[in-house]
Amino acid sequence: MKDDLLRQIEDERQQMNALANLHGPAAPQVLEQSQKLDVLLNAYYTEERLNA
């Protein structure tokens, strides 16, 4: 599961960067993508703490 999360995080990060380059960093699409990335990062760090 950890590898899946890392792959998803990287995919979402790349999407966010592409959107920011296209629309600017404060565009609603970028902020929405950032929130999706936050959810994945929180899930990753939660899993890390539980498995520590």
What pLDDT shows up at residue 1? 76
Tell the burial category of 7 from Cβ atoms under 10 Å away from its Cβ (0-12, 13-18, 19+).
exposed
What pLDDT shows up at residue 18? 99
In the chain, how many domains are there? 1
Q: Collect the ranges in the chain with pLDDT lower than 70.
A: none
What pLDDT shows up at residue 2? 86
Domain coverage including residue 7? 2-50
What pLDDT shows up at residue 52? 79
Place of tokens 């999706």: 36
Minimal CA–CA distance to 31: which of 13, 12, 16?
Answer: 16
What pLDDT shows up at residue 16? 99
